Amino acid sequence: MPHRTELYEDPPSSCWPIVYSPDYNITFMGLEKLHPFDAGKWGKVINFLKEEKLIADDLIVQAREATDEDLLVVHTRRYLNKLKWSFVVATITEIPPVAFLPNFVVQRKVLKPLRTQTGGTIMAGKLAVERGWAINVGGGFHHCSSDKGGGFCAYADITLAIKFLFERVQGVSKATIIDLDAHQGNGHERDFMDDHRVYIMDAYNRYIYPGDGFAKRAIKRKVELEWGTEDTEYLQKVHTHVEGALNELRPDIIVYNAGTDILDGDPLGGLAISPQGIVKRDEVVFKAARRRRIPILMVTSGGYQKRTARIIADSILNLHNLGLIDKELATSGAGNPRVEQMIRDSVKDLTNLSLQ
C-alpha cells in the first residue's frame, strides 16, 4: 500500500499544470556562482512568463518539498543518510566550498530547493496524466539514481515521478523518457536498467560527462552526437528518433527532459544549437506527443548560461501560441480539436525539418 503523500493532492482546477515554487532557487553568499549553473534560472523563467501575461502567481501549481518518505519510494536510506555529510553534497553539486558548511545550512540552502523541485516533478507527473500535459519549471536531475548522485543532481526526480505513477495512478503501466539534455541521463538509465515498462531515448554529446558505459545498456534508442552539432542535423535526428521511439512503444506517459545545455556556447554541453533550434526541438516533441494523445511531462534540466531562462520561457510561449499547451487542453485532456487541426496544418513542417 503506497504511503500517503501531499504531492498527489489536487490543486485548484483553475491552475495551469505548470509547477513552480520560489523555493527552487539557490541563493547564498554567492557560493552558487562557483558552479556554471544559473542557480536562479527557474524564477527568471516564471518572471518572463508573467511579463508576457501567460501566467500569474495564483494560476500556477505551488510545488511542495518531497519528504523522506516520498524519496524512499526510490532512494535507499543509506543514500539519503549520506546527504547529511556536507562533503558528499559538495561533490554532487560540484561546489567544493559547500564541504566546509554546517550540514543544517546545506540542507536548507542547497538540498531543500532540490527536494522542492523533486516534489514538483512528482506533482507534475500526476497533472500530466490528468490534463494531457504538465511542465515543472525545475527538475530533470537525470544523473541521480537510487543510490548515487552527481552532476548537480542529488535526487532522482524522473525515476520518482514514474514510480509514483506506476504505483498510484490506474492505467499508467508504460513510460517513455525522451532525454534531450546535452549529457547522457545515466541516473534514470541505471534505475530502469531491467524494467521493460520504461523505454529510454537519449540524445547526447558522446564525448562529455558522464560517459557511463554501463548505464548506456538501458537506452533503447541512443543518439550519440558529435562536438558542435548544429540545428539542421540535430532537429532531423530529434524528429526521426522521437517519432521512431513513440512508434516502437506507445507509452501511457512521456517524461521529456528538456535540457537547454545544447545551446551554442554552453561551457559543458559542447553542442551548437541556436535559441530558435531549442524552441523548435521542444515543439517537435510536444507535437509528437499531442498527435498521439499521450500525456507529456516536461522538466527543464541542465542549461548553464544566463540567457537560458529567456529561451525556456520563449519555448513555453511558443507551445502556447501553437495550441500545444493551453487551459482548454489542460482541462479537457489530450484530444483537443484545436490541437488536432494544428497538427494537420503542420505535418509538412514536421516532415521538412531538413529544409530549414
* Sole residue written with cell 506527443: 289
- For the record, the C-alpha cell of 140 comes out as 530533470
H helices within the chain, ranges in order? Answer: 41-51, 68-71, 77-82, 86-93, 103-106, 112-131, 157-168, 186-191, 213-216, 231-248, 275-291, 308-321, 327-332, 337-345, 347-351
Catalytic residue among 3, 75, 142, 143: 143
Q: List the end-to-end C-alpha distance of the chain, in Å, as a whole number.
A: 52
| Cα–Cα dist 297/138, whole Å | 12
Place of cell 544566463: 306
Residue reference for cell 500535459: 133
Strand partners, 148: 145
Continuous segment of H or E residues that includes residue 22? none
Q: Using CA atoms, how far apart are residues 129 and 213, in angstroms rounded to an integer?
A: 33
Angle between helices 275-291 and 337-345 (to 10 degrees): 120
Active-site residue 196, yes or no? Answer: no
Query: Which cell numbers hold the place of 209?
Result: 560527462
DSSP code for 153: B
Residue numbers annotated as active site? 143
